[in-house]
């Protein structure tokens, strides 16, 4: 998921029924349109370094229980009435003062949610002052939202009563398409933030239909090696093999599309790529409980701890992108857990040499774009709030991660594993063995069967698997 750049008008304004004056206060980023498609370009700057964001000091005292009648009224005025009628006035400012004086840091969560969409400087300062009063932390104006949310996550501040209703109201004021997403489930709504782009809610197999979103590619066109003259040998690709059939998904395309619904080796796949996490994953979408229609995965425009949130357009069920688990909606009720196919991150020259019969996505799917997020936008660390980071490795160190047969997550530092394998040494843990495959690293069992590992940035893997073991151990 990537962050959109700013302007004074966005497509979101034409999609909401709320007054334009409220949207003008609320939207902090715009959709950059290229051939009618919203594609992410820039991101909010962080005012802390990757090595400092784990240092947050002591959290404030946190009350529990319900809000007083006065405080509940203030919350309703500040977060519900203002978004319902499209106005911010003295009543809302007075309500924020009541909230600021309450001594209840739980209420910083909806304050932070509002900060994410604010452009009006005075209102942003009001919200920032409220957060400062409740958290005891001074926030620079340039990044009220990011640092506030980092502290909330790191301190694990509980949510206030009725939080989901507050958050739903704030978010769906901007994008009505989120109404079916913001529902109860096995998801921590505190950690959900806006990635700066709109929801991809197009029907299946509409790759060429324009949208104000990051546009998934369904049943993408492919070519053989001879037809891929546009790819350079050192271009990064994500290689997948299913039932003896190989396909390369160029990073250049995946950075633009971020989601592909494809069929390979007779199996249906959903393939998300999170630019923020450096993670391309492949999920089998045809291995679901009886009576469940194949999930068609899309980008929601939302993030959890700097990882994209994907959802199924058929059931409107939200999935944990990193884990492949349905966390809301009908597919949560069915306990849908998508199984993973292995993804090898490598270069095109090595992949095509190893697999000369491979197919590869065609250049037109890149829509004329050539992003390189890893070497510029993400260079200073996670650009969205994640709270504490695991200091065992640098945040953007590449790892190959997998969950073992016993349920233990294990991360292999890719550089060390690749070097060891190149020397002919064994790299294994429990039932997992790493091998070199097409110029990358793949996780297999003792019989050589694909175990579905994938490469990602260390910060992302350790966020979703905080108890992960780090090889060698």
pLDDT grade, residue 141 (50/70/90)? Answer: low
Burial 278-317 (b: 16+ CB within 10 A, else e): bbbbbbbbeebeeebeebbbbbbbbbbbbbbbbbbbbbbb
Can you tell me which residue has the tokens 């510029």? 376
Which has the closest alpha carbon to 30: 39, 22, 18, 21?
39
pLDDT digits (tens, 9 = 90+) for 63-79: 999 999 999 999 999 99
Phi-psi region of 291 (alpha: psi -120 to 50; beta: other; left: phi over 0): left
Residue 29 has pLDDT above 50, yes or no: no
- Kindly state the tokens that stand for 183: 């529902």
Which has the closest alpha carbon to 22: 89, 69, 75?
89
Largest CA distance in the chain: 71
In angstroms, the CA 252 to CA 369 distance is 8
Report domain extents, the chain.
Answer: 11-186, 217-359, 390-471
Which has the closest alpha carbon to 218: 230, 244, 200?
200
In sequence order, what are the residues at sequence separation of 6 or more whose Cβ sits closer than 8 angstroms to the Cβ of residue 21? Answer: 86, 87
User: How many CB atoms sit inside 10 A of residue 38's CB?
Assistant: 25
Residue 30 has pLDDT above 90, yes or no: no
Is 383 within 8 Å of 306 (Cβ atoms)?
yes
Which has the closest alpha carbon to 319: 194, 209, 198, 192?
192
pLDDT digits (tens, 9 = 90+) for 144-161: 898 899 999 999 999 999
At residue 56, the pLDDT reads: 82
- Kindly state the tokens that stand for 437: 């495959």
CA dist list (Å): 218 to 8, 204, 257, 361, 399: 32, 7, 10, 11, 28
Judged on CB neighbours under 10 Å (0-12, 13-18, 19+), 136 is: middle
pLDDT digits (tens, 9 = 90+) for 291-307: 999 999 999 999 998 89
Which has the closest alpha carbon to 303: 81, 473, 113, 99?
113
Residue 119 has pLDDT above 80, yes or no: yes
pLDDT digits (tens, 9 = 90+) for 249-262: 999 999 999 999 99
The angle, 0 to 180 degrees and rounded to 10, between the axes of the packed helices 144-154 and 108-115 is 150
Residue 24 has pLDDT above 70, yes or no: no
Three-state SS for 367? coil
Q: Does this model's pTM top 0.75?
A: yes
Residue 21 has pLDDT above 90, yes or no: no
Three-state SS for 89? coil
In angstroms, the CA 340 to CA 208 distance is 27
CA dist list (Å): 137 to 58, 118, 147, 448: 11, 20, 9, 52
Which has the closest alpha carbon to 427: 396, 462, 395, 400?
400
In angstroms, the CA 110 to CA 276 distance is 24
Three-state SS for 434? strand
pLDDT grade, residue 442 (50/70/90)? Answer: very high
At residue 174, the pLDDT reads: 87
pLDDT digits (tens, 9 = 90+) for 358-383: 999 999 998 876 655 555 555 566 77
In angstroms, the CA 224 to CA 412 distance is 32
Polymer length in residues for the chain: 473
In angstroms, the CA 359 to CA 381 distance is 34
Which residues are 456's β-sheet partners? 399
């Amino acid at each position: 998921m990537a962050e959109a750049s700013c302007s004074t008008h966005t497509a979101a304004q034409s999609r909401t029924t709320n007054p334009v004056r409220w949207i003008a206060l609320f939207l902090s980023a715009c959709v950059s349109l290229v051939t009618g498609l919203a594609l992410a370009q820039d991101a909010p700057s962080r005012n802390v370094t990757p090595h400092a964001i784990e240092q947050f000091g002591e959290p404030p005292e946190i009350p529990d229980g319900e809000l007083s009648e006065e405080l509940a009224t203030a919350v309703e005025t500040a977060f519900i009435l203002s978004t319902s009628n499209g106005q911010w006035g003295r009543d809302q400012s007075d309500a924020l003062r009541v909230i600021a004086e309450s001594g209840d840091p739980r209420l910083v969560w909806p304050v932070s949610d509002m900060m994410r969409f604010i452009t009006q400087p005075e209102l942003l300062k009001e919200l920032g002052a409220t957060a400062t009063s409740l958290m005891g932390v001074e926030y620079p104006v340039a990044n009220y939202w990011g640092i506030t949310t980092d502290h909330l996550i790191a301190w694990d501040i509980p949510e206030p009563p009725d939080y989901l209703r507050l958050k739903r109201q704030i978010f769906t004021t901007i994008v009505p398409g989120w109404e079916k997403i913001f529902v109860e489930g096995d998801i921590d709504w505190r950690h959900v933030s806006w990635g700066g782009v709109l929801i991809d809610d197009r029907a299946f197999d509409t790759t060429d239909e324009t949208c104000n979103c990051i546009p998934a590619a369904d049943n993408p066109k492919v070519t053989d090696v001879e037809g891929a003259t546009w790819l350079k040998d050192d271009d990064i690709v994500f290689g997948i093999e299913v039932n003896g059939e190989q396909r390369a998904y160029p990073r250049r395309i995946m950075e633009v599309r971020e989601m592909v619904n494809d069929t390979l080796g007779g199996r249906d796949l959903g393939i998300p790529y999170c630019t923020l996490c450096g993670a391309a994953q492949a999920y089998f979408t045809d291995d679901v409980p009886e009576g469940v229609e194949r999930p068609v995965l899309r980008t929601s425009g939302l993030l959890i701890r700097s990882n994209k949130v994907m959802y199924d357009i058929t059931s409107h069920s939200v999935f944990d992108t990193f884990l492949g688990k349905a966390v809301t909606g009908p597919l949560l009720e069915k306990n849908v857990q998508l199984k993973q196919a292995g993804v090898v991150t490598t270069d095109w020259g090595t992949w095509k040499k190893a697999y000369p019969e491979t197919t590869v996505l065609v250049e037109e799917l890149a829509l004329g774009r050539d992003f390189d997020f890893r070497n510029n936008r993400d260079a200073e660390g996670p650009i969205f709030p994640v709270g504490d980071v695991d200091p065992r490795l640098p945040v953007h160190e590449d790892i190959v991660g997998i969950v073992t047969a016993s349920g233990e997550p294990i991360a292999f530092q890719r550089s060390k594993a690749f070097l060891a394998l190149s020397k002919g040494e064994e790299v294994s843990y429990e039932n997992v063995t790493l091998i070199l495959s097409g110029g990358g690293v793949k996780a297999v069992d003792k019989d050589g069967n694909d175990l579905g590992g994938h490469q990602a940035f260390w910060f992302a893997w350790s966020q979703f698997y905080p108890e992960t073991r780090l090889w060698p151990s």
